[in-house]
Chains A and B, each alone.
Chain A
Amino acid sequence: MELNILIAGVGGQGNLFASSILAEYLLKKGHKVLAVETIGAAQRGGSVVSHLRVSDAEIYSPLIPAGKVDILMGFETIEMLRNFELLAGDGIYLLNDYKEPTVLCNMEMDTYPSDEEIRAALEKSGKKGYTIKATECARQIGGSLLTNVVMVGALCQISPLFDSQEVKRVLAGKSPAKVKEQNRQAFDAGGSLIQEAMR
C-alpha cells in the first residue's frame, strides 16, 4: 500500500492543518508517514503545497515524485492546475471550486483562466476528479477558514484508506474548543458535498 496526497492552496487556507489531521490519523493506524510543505517566501496569499506520503514500506523522498500523486487536493483552482502535471496516470483530483485571483490578474496585468478554459483543459487531461464548492459551504457554516476541514471530509469519502468517524475523532482532538462544533459540521458537509458530486 502506498498513497500520495498533494494539497495545493494559498497561504492562510489551512493547508498544514489538513495535512496534520490526515498524518495523525494515518500514524495512529500504524502506517509510515512522510510529509513536507513548500511555502517559499510566501506570506498570506502565496502558493503553499503540502506533500503527504503514506506507505507500509519505507518512504524515502519527502517530495512526491512527478507522476506519482494519487490524490491531488486543490484548495484553490489555479494552485491545483499548477500542480496538475504531478498526477499519476490513474490519479484523481479533488477541486474546491474557489478562485483567489493573483494580484496581477486583479490588475489586468495577467489573466485568470476562465471556467470554460479550465473545464476544457481538465477534460482533455482525461483525469478523473471531483469538483465541490468547499469554500462556499465553509462560509455558510462559519467562515472560509473551514475550507480545509470541508475538503478533508470530502477526501475521506473518496479514499478507502480513511475512516470518516476515526478521522473526525482526530479532528476533534486537534480542534480548539470554540471551533470544535464548526469543524465537525464542516467535516460532515464535505462528506455530503462529495457524495452529491459522485452521484
Chain B
Amino acid sequence: MAEKEYLMGNEAMGRGAIEAGVKVVAGYPGTPASEVLEYVSKYPDVHAEWCINEKVALETCMGASLCNTRSLAVMKHNGTNVALDFIMHLNYTGVRGGLVLISGDDPGGISSQNEEDSRIITRLDAHLPVFDPWCPQEAKDMVKTAFELSEETELCFVVRPVMRVCHARNTVSMEDIKEAKEPHFEDDRSRFIMSAVKEVKAGGTLRPVVRHRWLNEKQPVLAKIMEDSPFNHIEDGEGKIGMVTCGIGYAFVKEAEKILDKKFPVLKLGTLPLPKNKVLQFASKMDKLVVYEDSEAVVEGILKQFFYDEGVKVEVVGRSGFLPREGELSTTIVLKSLAALYPELEKQIPKTVPLEMKVPIRTRTQCVGCQYRGLLHALKLAAHKYKGVVTGDIGCYDAGSFPPLELQSTIYCMGSSIPMASGIAHSGYDRPVFAIIGDSTFFHNGVLGLLNAIHSGVDMVAIVCDNRTTAMTGFQPHPGSDIDVHGEPTLAIDVARLATTAGAASARVVNPYDIPQVKEALEKAVKEKGVSVIVATEPCYLVSRRTGELGFTPRKVVLDPELCNGCKICVTFFGCPSIHFGDGKATIDYGTCVECGMCVEVCPRGAITWS
C-alpha cells in the first residue's frame, strides 16, 4: 500500500491498531484521546465500544486478549487512574493477544482537571513498558510495534501521547492491514487467577510474589528490546551539553535548533524502560544533560539513578527545577533554556512584544439554548433560598461553577459530587446539600456514589443532568443513550428507574427547560428524608438543533426597558450570553438568541415576555 494520508495523531494511532489487526477496541471518551476509537469504529470488522468507564474498557480488552485477540484500550490520563486497579493486576498476569493501552496526557491541563503524567502510574508503579511518541507518524508506528512486542513479551504495552501529538495533523504512511488470528481460549489458572494462594510449583510461595517475580524478570527482556528500538537514537552536535528529549520534547528541541541554526548533541528517547547503554554512551561525552519531557521529571530521575549506579559523573537537569516544573513544554521554553546555557544565543530568540492592552478572558458557560441553564437557574434559587451547598462534577454543566453563576462549590474527578455531598451532610452541617452530575459521569463512576449515599441513610438531593450523550467530549454515547458508537439502536438504562430500584426517596423526572417544574421538584426534594433524585432529561441542545427535535417551541421574546429595574437576576442567576447588561438595564441580543424563552421565567418583574 504505502500511500500517505493527512491524519490527526489520534486517527494515526487508530490506523496503527487497524494495521496491526486489532479486533476489540474499548474506551471511555476524554480529551485528548477520543478520536482514536471514533476512527476505528469506521471499520466494520472491529468491535469498537464506548464503555461505562476506563476500568471496564480495559477489562473488556483483557477478556479479548485471553482469546488471543488483539485489543486496544483508549482513555485519557484521568481515566487511566480509574483503570489503575486493573492495571496493577494485569501487569502480574501478562496478556495473550497483543494488548495496547493508549493513555492521552494533557500537560498544561488545557482540557482536564489536572496535568498529571501517566508515565508515573503505568511505568513507575505498574512497571509496564511505555512508548512516548513525538509526532503522529511515530505514534502510529509505536502502536503497531506495541502490538507485536506485547505478544512477544506477554505484557500490556502503554502508548502515552500528549495532547499536541493526539491533535497534530500530519502526513502519515498507510500500510497493509494484518490478518487477525482466530479467537481461542485455554485455561491457565495459575496465571489468570490472581489470589493469595500458595504455589506448589514455587515451593509454596504465595502467587502474588511469584507473579511479581515474573514481572520483574521481564524487565531485562524489555531493556534489551528498547536498546535496539528505532524509537531511541543519538544525534551528534556541538558542545558538551547533551539535549535529552522524551516524546514531544524532541519536536520542540528540533524546532529550536532550526530557529538557532545550530546542531546540539541530542539523545532522542521514546521508550520506557530507557536504552541504558545508549544513555551511557551519550552521557560519556557530555558534561551536562538537559532532559526535555512532559510533564514530570520521570526520565530525569531514572537517568540520575543510572549515573549513580554506574558511578558516572554528569550533571542532569530538567523539569525538577531548571525547566518549569508545571505546564507544557514549548519551543519558547526550550529556547530560553538554551539561552541560559549559551548566553550568546539570547539574541537569536524571536522577539515578541506584548500588545499594550488588557484582553478579556472567555470563561466557559453553557451554550445559548442549553437546557442546563434553566436547571442551574432553578438550582441556584433553591441553594440561595435554603443556604445550601452544591457539589459539582465533570461535564458541560460544570460551567455553572464559574462566574456569573458561581453555583457549584466543588469539582474534583468523575463521580465525586454525590459522595462529597454525602460527606458534607454526614458532617452534621445543618443545611441542605445538593449534588449535580451529568449522565455520562453518573454511569462512569457516579452510580456507586449514589448507591452508597442511599445505603448510608443520608439526606440529600442528587440531580442528574441527562442529555443522553457525552456532550463535553463530542457527543459519544453512554449506557443511558439509546444508540451505540455506530449510531445503531441499543438498550438505554433509565436513571430514574435505577434510582427508584436502589431505594432513593424519590426520583423525579423533569424537563430542564421547564423552570417552574424544576423549582417544584427541588422544593419537594429538599424537604424529603433520604436521597432525593431529580433527573433533568432533555437531549443536548446542539444535538436536537441538528435533528430538528427541539425541546422548546422557538418564539421571540421582548424585554421591556421600562419594567427592567436592573436587579441583574438574569445575569447572576441565569447568565445567558444573549442577555446583555449595560447602563443599568438588560437587553436581548437577537443576533445570538435562539428563542428558547427560558428567560421569560427568570425575570421576577416580568420585564421579559413572549413577543
A, B co-complexed: yes
Among the stretches B375-383, B556-564, B578-586, the one at the interface with A is B578-586
Nearest-neighbour CB distance to chain A for B438, whole angstroms, equals 13
Query: 27 A-B pairs, CB-CB below 8 angstroms?
Result: A33-B171, A43-B364, A43-B472, A43-B542, A45-B367, A46-B362, A47-B362, A60-B252, A62-B164, A63-B330, A65-B330, A66-B331, A81-B357, A85-B353, A87-B352, A89-B350, A101-B580, A103-B404, A104-B404, A106-B581, A107-B404, A107-B572, A109-B403, A109-B404, A121-B355, A121-B356, A125-B353
Q: Quick check: is B250 within 8 A (CB to CB) of the other chain? A: yes
Complex formed: what's the CA distance from A65 to B254 in Å? 12
Check if B359 sits within 8 Å of A81, measured CB to CB. yes
Q: Quick check: is A3 within 8 A (CB to CB) of the other chain? A: no
**A61 contacts across to B, CB distance below 8 A:** 251-252, 254-255, 330-331
Q: Quick check: is B335 within 8 A (CB to CB) of the other chain? A: yes
For window 251-303 of B, CB contacts with A under 8 Å fall at 251-252, 254-256, 258-259
What bracket does the count of chain A residues touching chain B fall in?
Answer: 35 or more
Known: A68-B259, A118-B357. 6 other contacts (CB 8 A): A35-B169, A41-B364, A42-B364, A106-B577, A107-B568, A111-B360
Complex formed: what's the CA distance from A43 to B171 in Å? 28
Check if A39 sits within 8 Å of B404, measured CB to CB. no
Q: Quick check: is B170 within 8 A (CB to CB) of the other chain? A: yes
Check if B581 sits within 8 Å of A66, measured CB to CB. no
**A121 contacts across to B, CB distance below 8 A:** 355-357
**B127 contacts across to A, CB distance below 8 A:** none
For window 132-188 of A, CB contacts with B under 8 Å fall at none
**B356 contacts across to A, CB distance below 8 A:** 121, 124-125
Check if B31 sits within 8 Å of A41, measured CB to CB. yes
Complex formed: what's the CA distance from A86 to B351 in Å? 9
Which single member of A39, A68, A113 contacts B357 (CB below 8 Å)?
A: A113
Which single member of B169, B350, B582 contacts A36 (CB below 8 Å)?
A: B169
For window 308-359 of B, CB contacts with A under 8 Å fall at 330-332, 335, 349-359
**A58 contacts across to B, CB distance below 8 A:** 254
**A34 contacts across to B, CB distance below 8 A:** 168-170
Residue of A10, A43, A57 with most chain B CB atoms under a 10 A cut-off: A43
**B361 contacts across to A, CB distance below 8 A:** 102, 104, 110
Nearest-neighbour CB distance to chain B for A126, whole angstroms, equals 8
Which single member of B335, B351, B359 contacts A113 (CB below 8 Å)?
A: B359
Cβ proximity bits A71-99 to B, threshold 8 Å, 1 near / 0 not: 00000001001101111110000000000
For window 353-395 of B, CB contacts with A under 8 Å fall at 353-368
Which single member of B171, B357, B362 contacts A102 (CB below 8 Å)?
A: B362
Complex formed: what's the CA distance from A70 to B250 in Å? 23
Complex formed: what's the CA distance from A55 to B212 in Å? 50
**A65 contacts across to B, CB distance below 8 A:** 255-256, 259, 330-332, 335, 350
Output the nearest chain A residue to B165 by Cβ-Cβ distance.
Answer: A62
**A117 contacts across to B, CB distance below 8 A:** 357
Residue of B135, B254, B360, B363 with most chain A CB atoms under a 10 A cut-off: B360
**B359 contacts across to A, CB distance below 8 A:** 78, 81-82, 113
Nearest-neighbour CB distance to chain B for A173, whole angstroms, equals 14
Residue of A65, A103, A106, A122 with most chain B CB atoms under a 10 A cut-off: A103
- B residues near A (Cβ < 8 Å) are 6, 31, 110-111, 135, 164, 167-171, 250-252, 254-256, 258-259, 330-332, 335, 349-368, 396, 403-404, 471-472, 542, 568, 571-572, 575, 577, 579-582, 589
Nearest-neighbour CB distance to chain B for A79, whole angstroms, equals 8
A46-B364 in contact given A40-B110, A63-B330 (Cβ < 8 Å): yes
Check if A68 sits within 8 Å of B350, measured CB to CB. yes
Q: Quick check: is A27 within 8 A (CB to CB) of the other chain? A: yes
Complex formed: what's the CA distance from A66 to B349 in Å? 9
A103-B575 in contact given A23-B6, A35-B168 (Cβ < 8 Å): yes
Complex formed: what's the CA distance from A125 to B581 in Å? 32
Complex formed: what's the CA distance from A135 to B366 in Å? 23
Nearest-neighbour CB distance to chain A for B264, whole angstroms, equals 14
A104-B360 in contact given A33-B6, A39-B111 (Cβ < 8 Å): yes
Complex formed: what's the CA distance from A110 to B580 in Å? 12
Output the nearest chain B residue to A16 by Cβ-Cβ distance.
Answer: B169
- The 7 A-B pairs with the shortest beta carbon distances in the complex, nearest first, are A67-B350, A65-B331, A62-B168, A61-B255, A60-B254, A107-B571, A35-B169
**A102 contacts across to B, CB distance below 8 A:** 360-363
Output the nearest chain B residue to A38 by Cβ-Cβ distance.
Answer: B110
Output the nearest chain A residue to B32 by Cβ-Cβ distance.
Answer: A39
Complex formed: what's the CA distance from A40 to B353 in Å? 25
Complex formed: what's the CA distance from A107 to B575 in Å? 8
Complex formed: what's the CA distance from A82 to B354 in Å? 9
Q: Quick check: is A199 within 8 A (CB to CB) of the other chain? A: no
Residue of B171, B258, B571 with most chain A CB atoms under a 10 A cut-off: B258
**A89 contacts across to B, CB distance below 8 A:** 350-351
Residue of A10, A60, A84, A105 with most chain B CB atoms under a 10 A cut-off: A60
**B167 contacts across to A, CB distance below 8 A:** 36-38, 62
Q: Quick check: is A196 within 8 A (CB to CB) of the other chain? A: no
Complex formed: what's the CA distance from A35 to B9 in Å? 10
Check if A78 sits within 8 Å of B579, measured CB to CB. no
Check if B542 sits within 8 Å of A44, measured CB to CB. yes
Nearest-neighbour CB distance to chain A for B344, whole angstroms, equals 18
Output the nearest chain B residue to A105 by Cβ-Cβ distance.
Answer: B360
Check if A67 sits within 8 Å of B577, measured CB to CB. no
A108-B581 in contact given A27-B171, A65-B255 (Cβ < 8 Å): yes
Nearest-neighbour CB distance to chain A for B174, whole angstroms, equals 14
Q: Quick check: is A130 within 8 A (CB to CB) of the other chain? A: no
Residue of B170, B335, B358, B589 with most chain A CB atoms under a 10 A cut-off: B170
**B357 contacts across to A, CB distance below 8 A:** 81, 113, 117-118, 121
Check if B259 sits within 8 Å of A45, measured CB to CB. no
**B577 contacts across to A, CB distance below 8 A:** 45, 103, 106
Nearest-neighbour CB distance to chain B for A20, whole angstroms, equals 8
A36-B164 in contact given A23-B169, A104-B403 (Cβ < 8 Å): yes
Check if A43 sits within 8 Å of B396, measured CB to CB. yes
Nearest-neighbour CB distance to chain A for B382, whole angstroms, equals 22
Complex formed: what's the CA distance from A57 to B258 in Å? 10
Nearest-neighbour CB distance to chain B for A147, whole angstroms, equals 13
Complex formed: what's the CA distance from A37 to B579 in Å? 30
